[in-house]
Amino acid sequence: MEGDLVYAGALFVSGLASGFAGGLFGIGGGLLRVPLFLYLFPAFGVAPEVTMHLAAGTSLAVAVPGTISACRTQHQSGNMDMGFVRSWVPPLLVGVLVGLGIQRYAPSHVLILVFAVVLFLQSLQMLVGGEKLHFASAVPTGPRRWGIAAFIGALSVALGISGGAFTTPTLVAMAYPLRKALAVSTATALSVASVGAIGSIVNGFGATHLPRFSLGYVDLLAAAVMVPAVLVTSPMGVRTANRMNKRLLSRVFAIFLILVASDMAFDFFERR
């Protein structure tokens, strides 16, 4: 019982930190939640065979309430380009299903290494500034758009990230208006997080070495404790960002994420 209370307390503090950082730096909370889980779960006895799977599924479940709220807010504000969303979400969900297949069969240590690489690249993007990256004059249509959406869906759900952190810089780099890109990102996050969380539960049915509070690859205790913490601190992070030098803070945070990614990669190669 005492161990459960300590575990719940650590999860609550992690939820406060990831929610605040997500709001402060404008990144998906999953980029911080997943590494936190990867440090916390082994410390509380989670087997290494399922650590990354449980971290990804739980991170997606924690993201669902916040993405619902953000998506509703963007729609009510008139920023949501529904025509674009209708061409974006279906292939995105196809990618999510592919990513769930990857999550189901890929070894945990391989997913951790891929996450470390993605975290490193995301950190570099934060250092240079996403607004400086432009590689197209318009978002492509047809199969090329579908391919981009599917790739984001597959990569995001396999790693436990809701996908907003990938969608916004990708669309802005293709000359899509920032305000609309942010709105599409909320639709992306809602689709990835909700379908991904359900798929992670299904993927984990029958898996061994799962902790006693888990339902499939979702730790229910972690989700229950972290969701309210994230919902409280995420708006606080946004308000704080409006009063501070966000560019400098983002660079400092990016360096921190690079160190985290390096530690994850080092741990992977040390185990080989």
Mean pLDDT over 106-111 rounds to 89
DSSP annotation of 51: H
Q: What is the pLDDT of residue 221?
A: 92
pLDDT per position as a tens digit, 52-103: 999 999 999 999 988 888 888 888 888 899 999 999 999 999 999 999 999 9
CB-count exposure of residue 244 (10 Å: 0-12, 13-18, 19+)? exposed
**Contact by Cβ (8 Å): 205, 83:** no
Task: Examine the pLDDT at 130 and tell me if it is beyond 70.
Answer: no
- For residue 42 the two structure tokens come to 């082994």
List the one residue out of 88, 101, 23, 19 whose CA is nearest residue 59: 19
Q: CA 55, CA 38: separation in Å to the nearest integer?
A: 7
Q: Which of 132-141, 190-199, 221-230 has the highest mean pLDDT?
A: 190-199
**Is residue 268 predicted with pLDDT exceeding 80?**
no
Identify which has the larger pLDDT, 247 or 138.
138
3-state secondary structure 71-115: HHHHHHCCCCCHHHHHHHHHHHHHHHHHHHHHHHHCCHHHHHHHH
Determine the pLDDT at residue 132. Answer: 59
pLDDT at 2 over 70: no
**Tokens linked to 235:** 């708006």
Start-to-end CA distance of the chain, whole Å, equals 36
Between residues 137 and 86, the one the model is more confident about: 86
Name which residue leads in pLDDT, 230 or 266. 230
pLDDT in tens, 157-166: 999 998 888 8
- Note the pLDDT of residue 261: 83
Res 190: pLDDT: 92
CB 81 within 8 A of CB 184: yes
More confident residue, 126 or 196: 196
> Mean of the per-residue pLDDT values for the chain?
86
User: In the prediction, which pLDDT does 26 show?
Assistant: 63
Asked if pLDDT for residue 144 goes beyond 90, the answer is yes
Lowest model confidence (mean pLDDT) among 50-64, 68-82, 182-196, 227-241: 227-241
